[in-house]
């Protein structure tokens, strides 16, 4: 009996990457991999002039198309607010639409802002950060839209991005593979 010799070909990473055209498909990346889906800025300004009514903030909207089924999305909205009269009870919420134009779902609510100034000497509330994790579970290729609304209980003339700075509004969405 003659022994058989079996040899395994050497693994060549360069050859494997060449087979992939240098691009690793998102579904082949390991769990925990993260990539930026979209980043937008806006110079828009919105006056939240009505009390006890939700007002959509112009420029605080972002559309993304997740690349992997079942992934999580880390959503960030960063913007400034300035008041011109005493306000009280300031609330923010974020809605998700998917498909766009349908299925409005509130995915985030932040109601812990209560800024007021009887003397009107203070023009806060300053910079607002809204950050949260979402699992939209949408079909691949379907666009997901996030947008921000503001509600004030009392007061006048509360502005988002009052100075209309070119990057006064920053919106980001990261995708995290599960």
Mean pLDDT, residues 92-98: 97
20: CB partners within 8 A, 6+ apart: none
pLDDT for residue 117: 58
Mean pLDDT computed over 41-68: 96
pLDDT above 70 for 142: yes
Structure-token pair, residue 20: 């992939």
The three-point CA angle 21-22-28 to 5° equals 95
Residue given tokens 């699992």 in the structure block: 135
Please confirm whether the linkage preceding 90 is cis (ω < 30° from 0).
no
Q: Where residue 56 falls among pLDDT bands split at 50, 70, 90?
A: very high
**pLDDT (tens digit per residue) in 1-36:** 778 777 777 777 777 667 777 688 899 899 999 999
| pTM for the model | 0.84
Q: What percent of the chain has pLDDT over 90?
A: 63
**At residue 96, does pLDDT exceed 80?**
yes
pLDDT at 121: 53
Q: Of 172, 162, 178, 98, whose CA–CA distance to 125 is shortest?
A: 162
Give the model's confidence band at 125: pLDDT under 50 very low, under 70 low, under 90 confident, else very high.
low
Mean pLDDT, range 39-58, rounded to an integer: 95
């Amino acid at each position: 009996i003659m022994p058989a010799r079996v040899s395994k070909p050497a693994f060549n990473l360069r050859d494997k990457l060449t087979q992939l055209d240098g691009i690793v498909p998102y579904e082949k990346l390991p769990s925990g991999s993260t990539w930026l889906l979209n980043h937008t800025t806006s110079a828009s300004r919105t006056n939240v002039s009505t009390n006890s009514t939700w007002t959509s903030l112009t420029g605080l909207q972002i559309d993304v198309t997740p690349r992997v089924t079942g992934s999580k999305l880390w959503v960030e909205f960063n913007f400034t607010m300035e008041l011109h009269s005493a306000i009280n009870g300031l609330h923010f919420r974020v809605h998700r639409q998917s498909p766009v134009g349908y299925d409005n779902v509130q995915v985030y609510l932040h109601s812990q802002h209560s800024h007021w100034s009887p003397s009107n000497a203070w023009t806060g509330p300053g910079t607002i950060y809204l950050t949260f994790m979402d699992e939209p579970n949408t079909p691949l290729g379907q666009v997901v839209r996030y947008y921000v609304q503001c509600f004030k209980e009392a007061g006048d003339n509360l502005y988002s991005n009052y100075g209309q700075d070119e990057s006064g509004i920053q919106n980001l969405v990261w995708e995290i593979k599960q």
